[in-house]
Amino acid sequence: MLSTQNVRQILIKTNGESLRKVRSLGPEKTIEFITRKGLKGRGGAGNLTGNKWLEVRTQPGGSEKYFVVNCDEGEPGTFKDRFILENNPETLIEGIEIACFAIGCRKAFVYVRGEYAALAREFRKKLDAAPRSVPIEVVVGAGAYVCGEQTALLNSIEGRRGTPRLKPPFPATYGLWGKPTVVNNVETVANAALAFRDDWRGDLYLFSVSGNVRKPGVYERALGTRLGELVRDCEPSETPKAVFFGAAGGCLKYDAALALEPAAVAAKGAAVGGGVMLGSCTLIIVGESRSIPVVCSSIARFFAHESCGNCAPCREITALLAKRLECSVGASGAAGGFDAKFNEFVAESSALLNTASLCGLGQCATASLSAALKQFPSEFESPAKSQSKTKSKTKIKKQKQADSRS
Ligand SMILES: Cc1cc2nc3c(=O)[nH]c(=O)nc-3n(C[C@H](O)[C@H](O)[C@H](O)COP(=O)(O)O)c2cc1C
Ligand code: SF4
């Protein structure tokens, strides 16, 4: 079990009080309240939850609407949803009840990643023990990262192959079995219950922190907290060099002053070519002794493995990149064999993936590598190139010394 010592708000049990308030407010006012409170999705995109609920509430279709909780959590380095499922399933269940009441859903599903099967069993027990007014079904996935993408997840629940659907139509109009559906992240749903407390703070987010730190874990912090402050609390095991925002969110050179807030991270990322995002607040801290190309190589392997293969560019390019990086990174972690054409190849691949990928997996597959190439170019240089650079530097130095003597 992950330590609970760095977290407070998300552990609060709402004990049915929020649901009682919601029942007295009625569905429309409940959605208005959630919108006014500014609750935003915690699954990565940060959409206003109230807007998503309202769109489905106002769809025709009577009570044939569904609510789905996304607990696929396949992003490397992300474990905050597991933390909620383990430590506060009661408040999550209350959030589901509130959402179903407000949107007008006849049934809810909780989609749990295959690797959390034991946790799903425990959660089912909690569901059986909790008083409920809507049926809530737990579906366990088969361990595919792409099933976190909401339409792939819906296919998987329907018993189809878990691959993303063409959009539009979006789930709000054509979701589970073609009916209007809301998909929300676990942390979003737990907060929907907590938002009805007077002391709720909408700026508190869960950060999953791992990498070269002595205290990896889930940390609840306000958006805007400085990276250095959070990393200090996690006790870095060596001087930090970079932070990777999961596998899909790109990376930035370590800057203690960086504000952990979506716009600030994106702005800093824009300065290095874009594609960097705070996403679901996953921070993988990379220390100075670690090789950036090795980290990028393992990320590329992940994407090649997880591509569902439906789009040719995603299927082929992720495999090519993984192979290219694997061949170029020595067993010692030293980069070698990256020729000048490599940067060009990555730039062209990114452009193609961005335009020709059906889902976010393909679109984000090169985010970390592209950002790393811009910020850590010397780590990708072939030994021959870096040797010749050192040689010419030494030559210049010797010449300067000779000049100063003459
Ligand atoms: C490849 C891929 C994987 C995703 N994985 C997850 C996930 O594990 N959990 C999650 O909540 N959202 C994931 N998302 C985002 C979902 O599609 C969706 O936007 C989210 O569940 C909406 O919830 P929210 O509005 O509460 O943030 C993923 C998206 C993509 C493209
Ligand atoms: S972009 Fe990749 S993961 Fe997404 S649908 Fe296409 S092949 Fe599948």
Distance in Å, CA 53 to ligand 2 centroid: 27
The pLDDT of residue 329 is 86
- What would the mean pLDDT of 90-115 be, rounded to a whole number? 97
Contact 159, 40 (CB under 8 A): no
The beta-strand segments (E) located in 101-232 are: 107-112, 136-140, 181-185, 204-211, 217-222
pLDDT of residue 397 exceeding 60: no
Q: CA–CA separation, 26 vs 183, rounded Å?
A: 21
Ligand 2: nearest atom to the Cα of 362: 1
Cα dihedral value 84, 86, 88, 91, nearest 10: 80
pLDDT of residue 78 exceeding 70: yes
Question: Among 183-197, 321-335, 362-376, which stretch is predicted with the lowest mean pLDDT?
Answer: 321-335
- What would the mean pLDDT of 36-42 be, rounded to a whole number? 98
**Planar angle of CA 157, 155, 208, nearest 5 degrees:** 75
Contact 83, 206 (CB under 8 A): yes
225-243 pLDDT, tens digit each: 999 999 999 999 999 999 9
pLDDT of residue 337 exceeding 70: no
Q: Pull the structure tokens for residue 90.
A: 């009661």
Q: Locate all alpha helices (DSSP H) within 275-339, ordered by sequence.
A: 292-306, 312-328
Domains 9-194 and 297-385 agree in fold: no
Q: CA–CA separation, 285 vs 303, rounded Å?
A: 20
Specify the 3-state DSSP secondary structure of 84: helix
Q: What is the DSSP letter of 36?
A: H
pTM for this entry: 0.93
Residue 112 Cβ inside 6 Å of ligand 2? The answer reads no
The pLDDT of residue 2 is 84
Distance in Å, CA 185 to ligand 1 centroid: 7
- What would the mean pLDDT of 19-31 be, rounded to a whole number? 98
Q: CA–CA separation, 22 vs 102, rounded Å?
A: 8
pLDDT of residue 217 exceeding 70: yes
**Planar angle of CA 203, 218, 280, nearest 5 degrees:** 55
- What would the mean pLDDT of 155-163 be, rounded to a whole number? 97
User: CATH topology for 204-287?
Assistant: Ubiquitin-like (UB roll) (3.10.20)
Q: What percent of the chain has pLDDT over 70?
A: 91
Distance in Å, CA 184 to ligand 1 centroid: 8
- What would the mean pLDDT of 364-388 be, rounded to a whole number? 83
Contact 233, 213 (CB under 8 A): no
Q: Which residue has the tokens 């009682």?
A: 20
| Strands, sheet with 66-71, edge to edge from the N-terminal-most edge strand | 136-140, 107-112, 66-71, 181-185
Confidence tier at 165 by pLDDT (50, 70, 90): very high
Decide yes or no: CATH 1.20.1440.230 for domain 297-385: yes
Q: CA–CA separation, 64 vs 406, rounded Å?
A: 90
> Whose Cα sits closest to atom 6 in ligand 2?
311
Instruction: Look over the chain and give the mean of its residue pLDDT values, rounded to a whole number.
Output: 93
Confidence tier at 390 by pLDDT (50, 70, 90): very low
Residue 310 Cβ inside 6 Å of ligand 2? The answer reads yes
CA atoms within 13 Å, Cβ hemisphere of 70: 24
Beta 217-222 vs 204-211: how paired, if at all? antiparallel
Ligand 2: nearest atom to the Cα of 309: 7
Task: Report domain extents, the chain.
Answer: 9-194, 204-287, 297-385
CATH superfamily of 9-194: NADH-ubiquinone oxidoreductase 51kDa subunit (3.40.50.11540)
Q: Pull the structure tokens for residue 322.
A: 């993984």
Tally DSSP H helices, then E strands, for the chain. Answer: 16, 9
How many CB atoms neighbour CB 362 within 10 A?
A: 26
Contact 15, 227 (CB under 8 A): no
- What would the mean pLDDT of 304-329 be, rounded to a whole number? 95
The pLDDT of residue 340 is 77
Question: Among 132-146, 251-265, 382-396, which stretch is predicted with the lowest mean pLDDT?
Answer: 382-396
Q: CA–CA separation, 296 vs 195, rounded Å?
A: 39
Confidence tier at 346 by pLDDT (50, 70, 90): very high
Which sign does the torsion angle of CA 242, 206, 34, 112 carry? positive
Contact 342, 253 (CB under 8 A): no
Residues contacting ligand 1 via CB (< 6 Å): 41-45, 47, 70, 72-74, 145-146, 148-150, 183-185, 188, 359-361
pLDDT of residue 364 exceeding 80: yes
User: Which of the listed residues 155, 308, 349, 366 should we mutate to test ligand 2's pocket, taking the one with most ligand atoms within 8 A of CB?
Assistant: 308
pLDDT of residue 108 exceeding 50: yes
Cα dihedral value 69, 71, 75, 81, nearest 10: 110
Q: CA–CA separation, 387 vs 272, rounded Å?
A: 26
pLDDT of residue 406 exceeding 50: no
Ligand 1: nearest atom to the Cα of 187: 26
